[in-house]
Amino acid sequence: MTKGRSLKIALAVLWAVAVMVLAGFAFKLLKEFSHPPGRRASVQAPVPPPDMKERAVKLYFMDEDAAGLVAEKRSVDLGAGGAVDGAAIISELIKGPESGDHFASIPPGVRLLSAYELGDTLILDFTRELQTNHPGGSAGELATVYSIVNTVTENLRGINKVQILIEGEETETLAGHIDIRRPLSPDTKWMTARFHEKPED
Amino acid sequence: MKKCAVACMRFLEKSAALTVFLAFGLIFSPFPSAFAEAPPSSAFADERVSLPEAARGLDVTTHWKPAEGKLLLTRENHCAEILIGAKHARIDGHLLTLATPVVAANDAVTMSLADATALFSRLLGRTVTAKEISTGLLATPRIERDERSRIEGVRHVSYPDFTRLVINLSKSGNVGDVKLKHIEGAAALEIDFPKTGVGQAAAPIEVGDRFIKRIEVGRTGSGASVIVRTNVDDFEYETQKYDEPARIVVDVKPAAPGVLADLRASAHLPVQSGAWADQEPEIARGTTPFTTVVIDPGHGGKDHGAGGRGGLLEKDVTLSIALKLKERLEAAGVRVTLTRSDDSFVSLRGRTVIANRAKNGAPADLFISIHTNSHVSPSVGGFEAYYVSDAVDPGAEATAALENAVVNLEDTDGPEETSVASILWDLQYAEFIADSSALAFITQEELGKRLDTRDRGVRQARFIVLSGVAMPSVLVEVGFISNRSEESRLKTEDFKNKCAECLEAAVTTFKERYEAKLGLVNQESSP
Ligand SMILES: [Zn+2]
C-alpha cells in the first residue's frame, strides 16, 4: 500500500463524511421547513388515511348584529381522526362565510399551524395574526373564540373542549378580554337570548 | 492489494454509517427544548419503563386519575400530564410528542425509555439520561409502595374577617382522623395528620396577614403536622374536608367574645366526618360597610384596545370616562381606586391585584371595567353590560388546573399574585356571581335611562379581569367605536359625561341595596 493511495482513501473518507454531514443538515433543514420545531406533531395524517369521506359540517361565523354565531353548512373531507379532521374544519372556517349576511370570525392573515388531540381536548395552534390582526372589542373577541370552539366541538365526536395556542404558547386573551388560558367548552351564554341553548342553523 | 481495498471499503462504509448515525443524532437531538421531541428510533426505543417507578427514582410525585385515564407527574411546580393510550403528554401546558403511546397493562403504566428520558428532562429542567432512569429503577424498592396520602401543598387566602387555609392532599383516603388543636399557651393551631406523608419539605409559609403569621408543615413520627402560628392567642377555627382534589379547608378568625367561643376554641375538634362535599363554604361577606370602588379603564399604553375608523382609540375613551366617574363618586363620598390613571400599560393580572388590595389591603366592594366595543360590521351599535361567567368547567380538572396555577404563582411571582390566583380559584365556586349579575342589570338599566343608543342587553362571559377580582364586578361596553356615529359620540365630553353619570347611578343603587341587605342582616342577628 503506497502513501499516495492511503491519502486518496483518506480524502475519499473525508469527502464521504462531509457529504453525509451536509446531507444530514439538509435533511434537518428540510424537516424543520416542512414541520417547524414545536409543530411537529401537527397534522401529519397517520398512514394511510382511513375511510376519508366528504362530510357535511356546520361552521359558525359572526352574525351581522354581533349578537351570536350563525351556522353555514360545508362539505369537508373527514375521517382521518380528531386532529387532522379538526385542522380541515378550521381551514374551512378560516376561509370565511359564503353568505353576504355573515362575517368572518377569524381575522385576515391567520393560519393554523397545527392541531393536537389530547383526551377530549383539541389543541389548536394559530399564527400570531389571530392576536395582532384582531380588531378588538368584546363582541368580536367572543365571536372569534367561540366560532372556533363551538365549530370544533359540534363537528368532532369525542372532542368536548378546545385550547387555543398562539405560536405554541398558551395565551391570556386574543384582544384583552376573554380568558383563553385553559381549554374552553362550547358556550352560547354570551349571545343574546335567541341564540341560547343551541346556536341556530 | 485487493485485500487492502476491501478493508478500505469496509472502513469507508463504517465511517459512512457512523456519519449517518451522527447526522441523525443531530436531527433527533434528545436534549430538552421548548418542544422536545422523543427520538423516534434509537437503540433504547424498544425498552419500556414503568412510569411511576421511574418517577419515584427521580423524586417525582405521581398522582393517579383513573376516571380520566390520566397520570400526573409533579416535581416542585412542574407538572406532566400523561394520558393512557395517547401519543402526547402535556408538560406545564406544553405538548410533548411521544414516539410510542403510553400503555397500561398488567397494573403498570409504561412508556418507552426514549420517551421517558425526554419527558423527565423536560419535567426536571435538565438532561436526564436513559442510564439515570434505569439506575433509578434499580435503586427504588419496587414492592414497598407508599400508599399513604401526602400533603401536597398549603395555600392561604386572606379575607377581611378570616383567613382560609387550604391543605391539599394527594388522595382522599385515610384522612378522616385528622385532629386539630389549639396548642396550649401558644398562639398556634396544630393540625395533625397521623397517617400522612409530606410531598416535599418546604420552608415555613410567611402569611403575615391580619390573623396568621406563619404556616409550618413538618413530619411527625408516622405522619405530618401543619402548625398555624396566629397573631392572637384567642382564635376560632372551622374545618371542612373536600374531594377532587382532596383537601382540608381551615378558616381561622379571632375568637368572638363569649363563653361559647372560648369553649369551641379550646375543644379538640375532629374533622367533620361524612361524605366529601363538592363545594367550599360560602364566604360570609356583607359584614363591612361599602366604601371602596375600583374603576378599571380598559387597555392602555401599548394596548390600544379597539380603534375607530376615524382614529379614536378605546384606551383614551375608557380613561376619560373612568376619570369622570372617579370625580363623581368621590364627590358622593365613595373611595375610588383606578387601575390606571394615565395612558400606561397595566397587565390584566396587575389590575386584579390592585382591585383585591384596594380596601386597606383587602378586596374592594365593587369593580367596574370600562370598555368600548368593536365589530366588523360598521352598522352594529349599542351598549352592553357583562358579568363574569359561571360557565367555567366546574369539574375536578378545572379545579386541578387552577390549583396548579396557584402553585406556579406561589413559587414564581410572590405573594401578590398568589392572592389573585387563590381568589380566582375560590371564585370558581360562584360566590360573587349573583351580586355581579344584579350589578350588571342595574348598570344596563342606568345606561338605558340616559343613552339614546341601542340597549344590547346583559350578557355573561369569561372575562379574565372579572374572574380575578374578589368582589362583585361588571364590565361595560359603552358603545361601538367601530360604528361611525358612535365613534363621533364617544369623542364628545357630553356622551362621556353621560356614561359616567350612568355608572355613578349604578354604583349608588348597588351600594344602597348592599347597605339595605347589611342592615337587614344586623337586625336579624340581634336578639
Ligand atoms: Zn376592550
| Domain shared by B479 and B340, yes or no | yes
In tens, the pLDDT along A96-146 reads 999 989 999 999 999 999 888 888 889 999 999 999 999 999 999 999 999
Q: Nearest Cβ partner of A103 from B15, B376, B461?
A: B376
Distance, in angstroms, between B160 CA and closest chain A CA? 27
Residue B405 pLDDT > 60: no
The residue ranking higher by pLDDT, B412 or B501, is B501
Residue B283 pLDDT > 80: no
Would you call B26 and A175 a contact, using CB atoms and an 8 Å cutoff?
no
For residue B227, is it within any domain? yes
In tens, the pLDDT along A62-77 reads 998 888 999 999 998 8
Q: What is the mean pLDDT of chain A?
A: 80
Which of B93, B119, B144 represents a domain boundary (last residue)?
B144
| Domain shared by B377 and B475, yes or no | yes
Chain B residues in contact with A146 by the CB 8 A cut-off are none
Q: Which pLDDT belongs to residue B346?
A: 95
Among A residues 140-199, those touching chain B with beta carbons less than 8 Å apart: 140, 142, 161, 168, 170, 172-173, 175-179, 181-182, 184-185, 187, 189-193
CATH number of the domain encompassing residue B121 = 3.30.457.10
| Domain shared by B327 and B434, yes or no | yes
Q: Nearest Cβ partner of A66 from B70, B95, B380?
A: B380
| Domain shared by B158 and B235, yes or no | yes
Q: What is the mean pLDDT of residues B366-387?
A: 94
Q: Nearest Cβ partner of B12 from A16, A31, A118?
A: A16
For residue B366, is it within any domain? yes
Q: Which pLDDT belongs to residue A93?
A: 96
Q: Which pLDDT belongs to residue B65?
A: 65
The answer, for A35 touching chain B at a CB cutoff of 8 Å, is: no
For B334-366, what is the HEC assignment?
CEEEECCCCCCCCCHHHHHHHHHCCECCECCCE
| Domain shared by B69 and B101, yes or no | yes
| Domain shared by B135 and B169, yes or no | no
Q: Which pLDDT belongs to residue B286?
A: 44
The residue ranking higher by pLDDT, B468 or B369, is B369
| Domain shared by B169 and B131, yes or no | no
| Total domains present in chain B | 3
In tens, the pLDDT along A171-190 reads 999 999 999 988 899 988 88
Q: Which pLDDT belongs to residue A4?
A: 63
The residue ranking higher by pLDDT, B406 or A111, is A111
User: What is the C-alpha end-to-end distance of chain B, expressed in Å?
Assistant: 115
Would you call A192 and B457 a contact, using CB atoms and an 8 Å cutoff?
yes
In tens, the pLDDT along B64-88 reads 765 566 778 888 778 888 877 777 7
Q: Nearest Cβ partner of B306 from A40, A116, A135?
A: A135
Residue B110: pLDDT band (50, 70, 90) is confident
Q: Which pLDDT belongs to residue A50?
A: 60
Q: Nearest Cβ partner of A135 from B88, B376, B477?
A: B376
Residue B97 pLDDT > 70: yes
Would you call B90 and A118 a contact, using CB atoms and an 8 Å cutoff?
yes
CA separation for the pair A130, A109 (Å, rounded):
8
In terms of residue numbers, what domain contains B269?
Answer: 150-273
Which of B111, B144, B177 represents a domain boundary (last residue)?
B144
CA B310 to ligand 1 centroid distance, Å: 17
| Domain shared by B166 and B247, yes or no | yes
Q: Pick from B91, B115, B309, B459 the residue to mutate for testing the A interface (most A CBs within 10 Å).
A: B459
The answer, for B314 touching chain A at a CB cutoff of 8 Å, is: yes
Q: Pick from A1, A34, A179 the residue to mutate for testing the B interface (most B CBs within 10 Å).
A: A179
For residue B423, is it within any domain? yes
Nine-digit cell string for B14: 463504517
Residue B306 pLDDT > 90: yes
| Domain shared by B162 and B109, yes or no | no
Residue A197: pLDDT band (50, 70, 90) is low
Residue B22: pLDDT band (50, 70, 90) is very low
For residue B21, is it within any domain? no
Which of B144, B161, B190 represents a domain boundary (last residue)?
B144
The answer, for A104 touching chain B at a CB cutoff of 8 Å, is: yes
The answer, for A16 touching chain B at a CB cutoff of 8 Å, is: yes
The domain locations on chain A are 1-34, 55-196
Q: Which pLDDT belongs to residue B479?
A: 97
Residue B477 pLDDT > 50: yes
For residue B211, is it within any domain? yes
Cβ-proximal residues to B239 (8 Å cutoff; 6+ apart), any chain: B178, B180, B248, B249, B250, B251, B269, B271, B272
| Domain shared by B412 and B437, yes or no | yes
Other C-beta atoms lying within 10 Å of the C-beta of residue B362: 20
For residue B110, is it within any domain? yes
Residue B247: pLDDT band (50, 70, 90) is confident
CA dihedral B448, B449, B453, B455 (to 10 degrees): 20
Q: Pick from A177, A189, A194, A196 the residue to mutate for testing the B interface (most B CBs within 10 Å).
A: A177
Would you call B386 and A138 a contact, using CB atoms and an 8 Å cutoff?
yes
Q: Pick from A138, A149, A159 the residue to mutate for testing the B interface (most B CBs within 10 Å).
A: A138
Residue A154: pLDDT band (50, 70, 90) is very high
In tens, the pLDDT along B411-436 reads 333 334 444 444 444 444 455 788 89
Among B residues 485-504, those touching chain A with beta carbons less than 8 Å apart: none
Chain B residues in contact with A25 by the CB 8 A cut-off are 23, 26
Distances (CA, A) of A172 to A131, A182, B20, B125, B241: 11, 9, 43, 24, 32
Q: Which pLDDT belongs to residue B29?
A: 35
Would you call B373 and A172 a contact, using CB atoms and an 8 Å cutoff?
no
Highest mean pLDDT among A16-30, A88-102, B15-29, B424-438: A88-102
In tens, the pLDDT along B128-168 reads 888 888 776 655 443 334 567 778 778 877 766 778 888 88
Q: Which pLDDT belongs to residue A45?
A: 41
In tens, the pLDDT along B28-50 reads 333 333 333 333 444 445 688 88
Q: Which pLDDT belongs to residue B495?
A: 97
For residue B6, is it within any domain? no
The residue ranking higher by pLDDT, B178 or A124, is A124
| Domain shared by B131 and B182, yes or no | no
| Domain shared by B136 and B194, yes or no | no
Q: Nearest Cβ partner of B35 from A38, A67, A175?
A: A38
Q: What is the mean pLDDT of residues B496-517?
A: 93
Q: Which pLDDT belongs to residue B137?
A: 65
Would you call A27 and B23 a contact, using CB atoms and an 8 Å cutoff?
yes
Residue B231 pLDDT > 90: no
For chain A, the DSSP string reads: --HHHHHHHHHHHHHHHHHHHHHHHHHHHHHHHHS-TT-TTSSPPPSSPTT-EEEEEEEEEE-TTSSSEEEEEEEEEE-S-HHHHHHHHHHHHHT--SSTTSB-SS-TT--EEEEEEETTEEEEEE-THHHHT----HHHHHHHHHHHHHHHHHHSTT--EEEEEETTEE-S-SSSSB--SS-B----TTS-GGGSSS---
